[in-house]
C-alpha cells in the first residue's frame, strides 16, 4: 500500500499559495484493509475514508467508465491493481493531475507543472468530455486563477464547446450547478466564470437569465460600459472585492439587474421598473437551482430596492424608514449591511467608477443607527399603550432620520 498527496495541495504548493485542504490517494489497498487500519468510510459513490487521527480524506485509487449521460453516469473501479498513473489520468485538468510521494517527489505524467508555470488550464485527456460538471469546474478555476494570469487552453475551450453542442451540459443536476456557481461567486474574479461559460455556449444553458443580459444597452450617462452583461460582470467582481469569499453578496450582485433583459425594445436604453421585472426571473433561477432561502430572499430585496438605496440622499425621511422596514432590518440588522454592500458594488461596478465613494451607504448606515437609538421605553413611561407606542416610536424614528438628513444642495451634489 502506498499513499500519495494529490490534486489541489500539490498545485497550490507549486503556485506558492497556502495549502488548505489536503487529499490523498491510496494505491494497492482494499476497503477491508482501510477499515482494519482504523479509517472511517464516508464515500457514497466510491471508497473515500477519513484518517483516524487527522480526519483528512484518503481515497482509493480509481478509474471510471462512462455508462450514461450526465454527472451520475459512471461506473468506478477501485481494484488494488489500479495504479497512481491510472488515477491521475481520470482527473480533469493537468494542474490537478499531479501527486507527491511521502518524500516530496513530484509525479507529473501529464505535465501539470509546466501548465502551472505557463498559467494554462488544460484538460488531461478526451475523457474530460464524459463529465459535464468539468465545464463548470474549468470556469470556476478560471475565476480563482485569472488574477494570476491563467487562461483556458484553446483545445480545452474547443472541447467544452463540443460538449455543449452534444447536449452534455443539459444533463447537469441543479445541485451541481449551484455548488459550482456558489464557489465561483466566492472567488476573486467571478466575472471570469461567466466569460468562460459564455465563450463555450454553456451560460445560455445553465444560466439563461444571465446570458440574456449581454447586448442589452443602458444609458451611457449612468453606465459608461453600456452593455448590461458587462455591467453585471463588473458588479460581481466589485462584490468580490468588497466582500471577499461571500457568495451571498455575490449572488445578489449577480441577479440584481435581471429585469433589464425584459425591458421592451422601444424603451431602451432606459429600464423603467426593471427592479420589479427582475423578480420573476430571479425566482426562476432560485427555484431551478434550489438556491438557499437566505440567498433568494436577500437577492429579491436587492433587486427590488437597490434604486431606492442609490436615491437615498433624495428620499423623504419616511421613505428611508420604509426601506429599513422592507429589509426587516430592525430584526435583522446584518441584512442592511449586506444589502448596502450589494448596492455599493452595483454603483462602483461601472466603467470609471471602481474607486468612487458611495455616500448613500454612509448616510443609510448613520440613519439606521439613529433609528435604532429610538426605544419604546419612554413612550411606555408616558402611559401610551398598544399601537400608540409603535406609532409614537415610528414618528420619532422619522424625526431622527430628518435630523441627520444632509441639506438638499449637498444631497444633489
pLDDT at residue 376 is higher than 90: no
Q: What is the pLDDT of residue 398?
A: 96
- Write out the three cell numbers for 348: 462602483
Can you tell me which residue has the cell 430571479?
282
Helix/strand/coil (H/E/C) assignment for every residue in the chain? CEEEEECHHHHHHHHCCCCCCCEEEEECCCHHHHHHCCCEECCCCCCEEECCCCCCEEEECCEEEECCCCCCCEEEECCCCCCHHHHHHCCCEHHHCCEECCCCCEECCCCHHHHHHHCEECECCHHHHHCCHHHHHHHHHHHHHHHHCCEECHHHHHHHHHHHHCCHHHHCCHHHHHHHHHHHHCCCCCHHHHHHHHHHCCHHHHCHHHHCCCCCECCCCCCCCCEHHHHHHHHHHHHHHHCCCCHHHHHHHHHCCHHHHHCCHHHCCCCCCHHHHCHHHHHHHHHHHCCCHHHHHHHHHHHHHHHHHHCHHHCCHHHHHHHHHHCCCCCCHHHHHHHHHHHHHHHHCCCCCCCCCCHHHHHHHHHHHHHHCCCCHHHHHCCCCCHHHHHHHHHHHHHHHHHHCCCHHHHHC
Q: What is the pLDDT of residue 382?
A: 83
Q: What is the pLDDT of residue 70?
A: 52
55 touches 156 (CB < 8 A): no
Give mean pLDDT, residues 272-276.
96
Percent of the chain exceeding pLDDT 90 equals 86
Q: What is the pLDDT of residue 410?
A: 43
98 touches 112 (CB < 8 A): yes
Strands 106-107 and 63-66 come out as unpaired
Q: What is the pLDDT of residue 155?
A: 98
pLDDT at residue 409 is higher than 60: no
* Per-residue pLDDT tens digits for 107-159: 999 999 999 999 999 999 999 999 999 999 999 999 999 999 999 999 999 99
386 by Cβ neighbours in 10 Å (0-12 / 13-18 / 19+) ranks as exposed
Confidence of residue 73 (pLDDT cuts 50, 70, 90): low
Residues 6+ positions from 272 with CB-CB distance below 8 Å: 263
The mean pLDDT value of the chain amounts to 93
Confidence of residue 74 (pLDDT cuts 50, 70, 90): low
Give mean pLDDT, residues 268-278.
97
Domains and CATH numbers, the chain: 1-118 (3.30.460.10)
73 vs 299 pLDDT, higher one:
299
Q: What is the pLDDT of residue 246?
A: 98
Give mean pLDDT, residues 255-266.
97
Percent of the chain exceeding pLDDT 70 equals 96
pLDDT at residue 412 is higher than 50: no
How would you label 230-242 residue by residue, b for 16+ Cβ within 10 Å and e otherwise? bbbbbbbbbbbeb
Give mean pLDDT, residues 267-292.
97
pLDDT at residue 84 is higher than 60: yes
| Of the candidate ranges 52-56, 63-67, 399-403, the one whose mean pLDDT is the lowest | 63-67
* Per-residue pLDDT tens digits for 165-216: 999 999 999 999 999 999 999 999 999 999 999 999 999 999 999 999 999 9
Confidence of residue 69 (pLDDT cuts 50, 70, 90): low
267 by Cβ neighbours in 10 Å (0-12 / 13-18 / 19+) ranks as exposed
Confidence of residue 227 (pLDDT cuts 50, 70, 90): very high
Give mean pLDDT, residues 254-262.
98
Confidence of residue 314 (pLDDT cuts 50, 70, 90): very high
Residues 6+ positions from 81 with CB-CB distance below 8 Å: none
Q: What is the pLDDT of residue 291?
A: 98
* Per-residue pLDDT tens digits for 328-359: 999 999 999 999 999 999 999 999 999 999 99
CA distances from residue 233 to 98, 293, 346, 349 in whole angstroms, order as listed: 32, 24, 10, 8
Amino acid at each position: 500500500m502506498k499513499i500519495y498527496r494529490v490534486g489541489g495541495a500539490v498545485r497550490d504548493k507549486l503556485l506558492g499559495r497556502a495549502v488548505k485542504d489536503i487529499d490523498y490517494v491510496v494505491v494497492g489497498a482494499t476497503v477491508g484493509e482501510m477499515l482494519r487500519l482504523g479509517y472511517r468510510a464516508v464515500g457514497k459513490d466510491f471508497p473515500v475514508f477519513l484518517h483516524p487521527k487527522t480526519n483528512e480524506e484518503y481515497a482509493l485509487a480509481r478509474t471510471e467508465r462512462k455508462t450514461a449521460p450526465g454527472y451520475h453516469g459512471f461506473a468506478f473501479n477501485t481494484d488494488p491493481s489500479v495504479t497512481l498513473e491510472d488515477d491521475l489520468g481520470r482527473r480533469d485538468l493537468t494542474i490537478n493531475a499531479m501527486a507527491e510521494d511521502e518524500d516530496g517527489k513530484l509525479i507529473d505524467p501529464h505535465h501539470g507543472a509546466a501548465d502551472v508555470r505557463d498559467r494554462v488550464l488544460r484538460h488531461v485527456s478526451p475523457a474530460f468530455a464524459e463529465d459535464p460538471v468539468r465545464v463548470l469546474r474549468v470556469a470556476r478555476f478560471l475565476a480563482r486563477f485569472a488574477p494570476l494570469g491563467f487562461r483556458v487552453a484553446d483545445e480545452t475551450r474547443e472541447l467544452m464547446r463540443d460538449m455543449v453542442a452534444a447536449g452534455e451540459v443539459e444533463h447537469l443536476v441543479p445541485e451541481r450547478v449551484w455548488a459550482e456557481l456558489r464557489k465561483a461567486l466566492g472567488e476573486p474574479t467571478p466575472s471570469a466564470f461567466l466569460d468562460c461559460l459564455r465563450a463555450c455556449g454553456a451560460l445560455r444553458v445553465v444560466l439563461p437569465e444571465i446570458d440574456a443580459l449581454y447586448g442589452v444597452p443602458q444609458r451611457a450617462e449612468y453606465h459608461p460600459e453600456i452593455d448590461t452583461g458587462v455591467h453585471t460582470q463588473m458588479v460581481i467582481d466589485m462584490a468580490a472585492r468588497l466582500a471577499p469569499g461571500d457568495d451571498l453578496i455575490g449572488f445578489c450582485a449577480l441577479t440584481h439587474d435581471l429585469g433589464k433583459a425584459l425591458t421592451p425594445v422601444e424603451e431602451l436604453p432606459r429600464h423603467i421598473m426593471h427592479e420589479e421585472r427582475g423578480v420573476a426571473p430571479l425566482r426562476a433561477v432560485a427555484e431551478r437551482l434550489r438556491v438557499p432561502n437566505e440567498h433568494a430572499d436577500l437577492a429579491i430585496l436587492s433587486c427590488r430596492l437597490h434604486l431606492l438605496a442609490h436615491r437615498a440622499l433624495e428620499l423623504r425621511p419616511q421613505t428611508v424608514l420604509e426601506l429599513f422596514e422592507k429589509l426587516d432590518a430592525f430584526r435583522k440588522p446584518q441584512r442592511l449591511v449586506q444589502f448596502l454592500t450589494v448596492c455599493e458594488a452595483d454603483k462602483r461596478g461601472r466603467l470609471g467608477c471602481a474607486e468612487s465613494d458611495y455616500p448613500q451607504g454612509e448616510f443609510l448606515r448613520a440613519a439606521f443607527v439613529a433609528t435604532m437609538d429610538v426605544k419604546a421605553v419612554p413612550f411606555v413611561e408616558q402611559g401610551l399603550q398598544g399601537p400608540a407606542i409603535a406609532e409614537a416610536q415610528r414618528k420619532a424614528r422619522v424625526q431622527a432620520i430628518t435630523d441627520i438628513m444632509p441639506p438638499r444642495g449637498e444631497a444633489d451634489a
